[in-house]
Structure 1
Amino acid sequence: MTQKLAAGLIIYRKLAESIEYLLLQTSYSENHWTPPKGHLDEGEDYLTAAVRETEEEAGLKEDLDYTFLSKTFSIECNYVIKGKEPKKVLYWIAKMLNPNTEIKLSHEHINYKWLKLSDACEITKYDEMKCVLNRADTFIINNMKN
């Protein structure tokens, strides 16, 4: 069975002393909450897919709306879809340049929320995503410049 490949961004904003994460609620299946992410197009690398998917799903553009914390650090998430199909997702971490930038959802999502880590982990139903968010939070705190 072929492994599905996807990429996305863990987008955060800093408000006062608080870090909040952007999660989008899907318009399909179980309406679960996830960071912007999606499948790689043919011939596309992971990072390019993450940037493209973020713009498509949330209307956010690199360097205009967000900046990468690091393009060399990514978090790999592996899981099985519906008990059959293996999936690999690579996430990079990006910081919003303006914490009040408007999020423009695509047809693939019905809602979005900015959430503190504990709330983000509570709303996402998958342990793998909780692990990704916790690893991202640790990386952000250890690498925060301001």
Structure 2
Amino acid sequence: MLPQKHVVAAGGVVYRRGRYDTEIVLCGRPREGVWTLPKGSLEPGETLERAALREVEEETGLKTAIQETVGAIRYQFTGPDGTRYHKQVEHHLMVPTGGSLAHHDAEFDTARWFPVEEALRLLRYPNERAIVRRAVRLIQQRE
């Protein structure tokens, strides 16, 4: 039987009102066709909220504030060493309070604002698209 590991992570849907539409931040490696929501694993003793704030700042360069929880996604994958990972990621609806996308983590080539519809086309994984759609409904309820 393959070794298994359970991972808990947190991230965010960071949004702002653009000139014409709501925009969200995606982290990407465009040459590889990879665009994703900012997220990462919890550090020992860290809460989901604190991890989301830290990971979003590390991966996007933006300081943010959490408005509410959007929901969690679960998925599995096999790592290069054959370990089977069971990952749960809790996403939060977040707004920028400072920082700059220019200071994003080197893990990604870029972090950029996209209109929601474009972001939905770029996101590779259906579960992340579902989180963005849920976040948009929450944003609309706030307006």
Please give the secondary structure, in 2, of the residue aligned with 1:53.
helix
Aligned to 1:87: 87
* Among 22, 44, 47, the residue aligned to 2:46: 44
Matches within 5 A, 1:89-128: 89-97=89-97, 102-103=100-101, 104-128=103-127
**What's the offset of the Cα at 1:4?**
1.1
Q: C-alpha separation between the residues in 2 aligned to 1:4 and 1:117?
A: 28
Q: As a proportion of its length, which structure holds more strand? A: 2
**What's the offset of the Cα at 1:53?**
0.8
> Which structure 1 residue ranges, 5 or more long, are not aligned?
none
Is structure 2 residue 69 aligned with structure 1 residue 67?
no
Which structure has the bigger radius of gyration? 2
Aligned to 1:140: 139
The aligned amino acid for 1:87 is K
Q: C-alpha separation between the residues in 2 aligned to 1:26 and 1:86?
A: 24
Matches within 5 A, 1:6-21: 6-21=9-24
Q: C-alpha separation between the residues in 1 aligned to 2:105 and 2:89?
A: 20
Please give the secondary structure, in 2, of the residue aligned with 1:3.
strand
**Does the C-alpha gap of structure 1 residues 53 and 92 become closer, same or farther in structure 2, counting only changes over 3 Å?**
same
Q: Verify the 8 A CA contact 2:62 2:96 in the aligned structure 1.
A: no
Aligned to 1:76: 72
Q: As a proportion of its length, which structure holds more helix? A: 2
TM-score by length of 1: 0.81
The aligned amino acid for 1:2 is K
Q: C-alpha separation between the residues in 2 aligned to 1:38 and 1:31?
A: 20
* 1:86-118 alpha-carbon deviations (Å, 9 max, x no partner): 1100011112357xx631111111012211222
Q: C-alpha separation between the residues in 1 aligned to 2:89 and 2:11?
A: 7
> Which structure 2 residue ranges, 5 or more long, are not aligned?
none
TM-score by length of 2: 0.82
Is structure 2 residue 26 aligned with structure 1 residue 23?
yes
**What's the offset of the Cα at 1:8?**
0.6
Number of residue pairs matched?
Answer: 134
Please give the secondary structure, in 1, of the residue aligned with 2:109.
strand
Identity of aligned residues (%): 28
Please give the secondary structure, in 1, of the residue aligned with 2:24.
strand
